[in-house]
Amino acid sequence: MTAGYQINLYGQKGWRTLKPDLTNLYAYLLEAFMEYLRTGVEPYPIEQEVELIAVLEAGKRSLKLGREVTIQEVLE
């Protein structure tokens, strides 16, 4: 078995496993940051960033509390 990351998503209609390709993650992040510095244009709208952080926080709370935690619950 090789090291890596995978994301398991579960919903009312089923589940799915995603295995992101993180081969050049650092280089990609550095390029995106440099482009932001050059242009002043954010790579992603702030709304998407907030939603992503809420998803991660919901997962963290769900693990701690032992129950489903919705994104809406985190955003309240």
Contact 3, 10 (CB under 8 A): no
Neighbours of 74 (CB within 10 A): 19
Q: What is the pLDDT along the chain (76 residues), one digit of tens a residue?
A: 455 678 888 988 999 998 887 777 778 778 888 999 999 998 878 788 888 889 889 989 999 999 999 999 999 8
DSSP 29-74: HHHHHHHHHHH---SS-HHHHHHHHHHHHHHHHHHHHTS---HHHH
Neighbours of 19 (CB within 10 A): 9
